[in-house]
Amino acid sequence: MTYRLHVDIPLDGDEEVAIQKAKAILDWWVESEAAKADMKNMGVSSVNYRLGHDDDRQRSNYLMKNENGHVNNKKCKTILGDQTPSGS
């Protein structure tokens, strides 16, 4: 059986501020080489994430917007190996 850690961090501010805060948190937590090494040592091979909005009933990901400003519903994914992160 697989368990998943779900972390819910409320980010105040408008959309652009929330995106900046989310990217800063992800850079610190998911993208740092020390954190990647620690997670790989625990057997974690990838991390999926998205930035949602409480009033959005869909599972939109505000970190993935197209040129028209429409958000995607796919999660971003970071592979904790030799591959590069996707999404943000």
- Residues near 13 by Cβ (< 8 Å), separated by ≥ 6? 21
Residue 81: which pLDDT band, with cuts at 50, 70 and 90?
A: low
Helical (H) or strand (E) element with 61: strand 61-65
Under a CB-based contact definition with an 8 Å cutoff, are residues 78 and 30 in contact?
yes
* pLDDT for res 84: 46
Q: How far apart are CA 70 and CA 8, in angstroms?
A: 23
Question: What is the phi/psi pair of residue 25, to 5°?
Answer: -65, -45
Which SS3 state, helix, strand or coil, does residue 11 take?
coil
* pLDDT tens by residue, 11-62: 988 989 999 999 999 888 877 888 888 988 999 888 888 998 888 778 888 8
Report domain extents, the chain.
Answer: 15-79
* pLDDT for res 66: 86
Give the global pTM. 0.74
Question: What is the phi/psi pair of residue 56, to 5°?
Answer: -90, 110
